[in-house]
Amino acid sequence: MSANTMHGTTILAVRRGAQICVGGDGQVSLGQTVVKGDAKKVRRLVGGNVIAGFAGATADAFTLLERLESKLEQYPGQLTRASVELAKDWRTDRYLRRLEAMMIVADKDVTLTLSGVGDVLEPQYGVTGIGSGGDYARSAARALLEETELDAEAIVRKSMAIAASICVYTNTSLTLEKITAGDK
């Protein structure tokens, strides 16, 4: 791994009951140096009805977010279809297939993990994580879902704190977005 390689991000999505919460840490590292501690890697799209979190190269992720928004305008209210169409483009377009990023997207009904190899995955158990600390956060969230009655937001907060205590490329500066079914 080169010292000039950008690292770091943990994005976690937890769905419990009528609530989906997506959280992301704020750390961006260059080699062994933290270059930014408060990056916003989770944001709302299409008037707040979709939450997206990204890991990977920032410019690449922003390009993909713009493409996803375009697909959501083309297929309003159809997150799965828009995501599949984006994944097709991402995999087959000469420019897009060079992009190095992953995304978690969610609306009131579905949570999906998207990758550049064409993956559009709906997570088992309503939990998915990406990035350097994604597996740690996802594992913690699975345990908290099974062993507690905490809501989705509390699970994301606790799980991200656990990931930050294990992964050196993850910090405790969180951006959280949530949607509860029935919210406008």
pLDDT in tens, 74-108: 999 999 999 999 988 887 777 676 777 889 999 99
Residue 56: inside a domain: yes
Residue 176: inside a domain: no
pLDDT of res. 5: 43
Q: What is the largest CA-CA distance in the chain?
A: 47
CA distance 24 to 11: 4
Closest CA to 64 of 91, 40, 39: 91
Residue 151: inside a domain: yes
Cite the active site residues: 9
- CATH, residue 112: 3.60.20.10
Average pLDDT over the chain reads 90
pLDDT of res. 4: 43
Range of the domain at 142: 6-170
Q: Is the pLDDT of residue 22 over 60?
A: yes
CA distance 158 to 168: 17
Count how many domains the chain has: 1
Residue 18: inside a domain: yes
pLDDT range class, residue 56, cuts 50, 70, 90: confident
Residue 93: inside a domain: yes
pLDDT range class, residue 7, cuts 50, 70, 90: low
pLDDT of res. 184: 57
Residue 183: inside a domain: no
Residue 182: inside a domain: no
The 10s digit of each residue's pLDDT in 110-164 is: 999 998 788 899 999 999 999 999 999 999 999 999 999 999 999 999 999 999 9
Residue 178: inside a domain: no
Neighbouring-strand partners of residue 54: 103
CB atoms within 10 A of CB 55: 25
pLDDT range class, residue 16, cuts 50, 70, 90: very high
